[in-house]
C-alpha cells in the first residue's frame, strides 16, 4: 500500500528520527495515544505501521479533519477520537497504551503543567511502552528573542503576541531537561537529540521507555 497522508508521502511527515528511532520498536496491533493529535499528520506514520490510535484534542474541527484524512488514507478503522483537554483525558483514563505521543503539545503549557502531563502520560504506559516527545528547545532563536523582550510567566515560559494568532503560551525545554525528569520517575532514555522542525525552530526529540 502506498503510504500517503493528506497528499504527502508519509516519509515526509514528522521528524526523520521517528522513522529511524521509534518505528523499528513498535509493532502492528499495539495501541497508541496521541495527545493533541490535531489533524493527525504527526502520528500518521505510526498508524501506517498498524497501530490502533486514540487521538485526543479539544478542537472538534481538527478532529473532524483528522477522521476524514485517516479515512482517505485507508486508516479509518485504526482511529478513535476523543474531544477533550489532554490533562482531563488522562485524569479519567483507565486504559493502558504501548505508545504515548506528545508532539509539540508541551509548548502550550506552563513548565509545571507540562511536567505534570509527562508524568501522567508515563503512568498510562504498559510495561516496555514508549513515550515520544517533541518540544521547543531553549536553543531556539525564538527563545532568546522572547527572553530579551518579555518577563517569563513560568520557567522558560512566555506569552507571545502576534497580530494573527493573538496571545499564545510558549514554553521551552533545555536539552536534557525532559530526559532527566523522566529518568527521575523511572523512565529509560532510548534516544534524544535536537532537530530543526519544518518551521525552522529547534526542537528537543526524546524517546523514553517504561521498563517492565
Closest CA to 38 of 5, 3, 16, 2: 5
pLDDT at res. 12: 86
pLDDT at res. 14: 82
pLDDT at res. 102: 98
pLDDT in tens, 60-117: 999 999 999 999 999 999 999 999 999 999 999 999 999 999 999 999 999 999 999 9
Residue 124 CA to residue 112 CA, distance in Å, equals 19
Residues 6 or more apart whose CB falls under 8 angstroms from that of 210 comprise 122, 125, 126, 127, 128, 129, 130, 131, 186, 187, 188
Closest CA to 209 of 97, 128, 132: 128
**The C-alpha cell of 144 is what?**
532568546
pLDDT at res. 161: 77
What is the CB-side half-sphere exposure of residue 33 using CA atoms within 13 A? 26
pLDDT at res. 110: 93
**Residue carrying the nine cell digits 495527545:** 35
Q: Show the low-confidence residues of the chain (pLDDT under 50).
A: none
pLDDT at res. 168: 86
DSSP-assigned letters across all residues of 174-205? -TTHHHHHHHHTT-EEEEEEEEE-TTS-EEEE
Bridge partners, residue 11, by sequence: none
pLDDT at res. 165: 60
Handedness of CA 4, 203, 97, 63 (dihedral sign): negative
Amino acid at each position: 500500500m502506498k503510504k500517503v497522508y493528506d497528499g504527502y508521502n508519509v516519509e515526509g511527515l514528522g521528524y526523520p528520527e521517528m522513522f529511524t528511532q521509534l518505528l523499528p520498536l513498535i509493532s502492528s496491533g499495539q495501541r497508541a495515544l496521541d495527545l493533541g493529535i490535531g489533524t493527525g499528520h504527526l502520528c500518521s506514520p505510526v498508524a501506517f505501521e498498524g497501530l490502533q490510535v486514540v487521538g485526543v484534542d479539544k478542537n472538534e474541527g481538527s478532529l473532524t479533519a483528522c477522521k476524514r484524512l485517516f479515512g482517505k488514507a485507508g486508516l479509518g478503522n485504526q482511529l478513535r477520537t476523543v474531544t477533550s483537554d489532554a490533562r482531563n483525558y488522562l485524569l479519567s483514563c483507565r486504559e493502558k497504551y504501548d505508545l504515548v505521543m506528545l508532539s509539540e503539545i508541551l509548548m502550550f503549557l506552563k513548565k509545571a503543567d507540562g511536567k505534570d502531563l509527562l508524568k501522567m502520560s508515563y503512568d498510562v504506559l504498559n510495561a516496555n511502552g514508549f513515550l515520544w516527545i517533541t518540544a521547543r528547545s531553549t536553543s531556539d532563536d525564538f527563545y532568546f528573542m522572547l527572553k530579551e523582550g518579555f518577563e517569563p510567566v513560568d520557567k522558560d515560559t512566555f506569552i507571545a503576541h502576534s497580530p494573527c494568532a493573538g496571545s499564545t503560551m510558549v514554553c521551552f525545554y533545555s536539552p536534557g531537561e525532559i530526559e532527566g525528569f523522566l529518568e527521575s520517575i523511572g523512565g529509560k532514555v532510548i534516544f534524544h537529540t535536537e532537530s530543526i522542525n519544518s518551521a525552522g525552530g529547534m526542537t528537543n526529540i526524546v524517546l523514553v521507555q517504561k521498563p517492565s
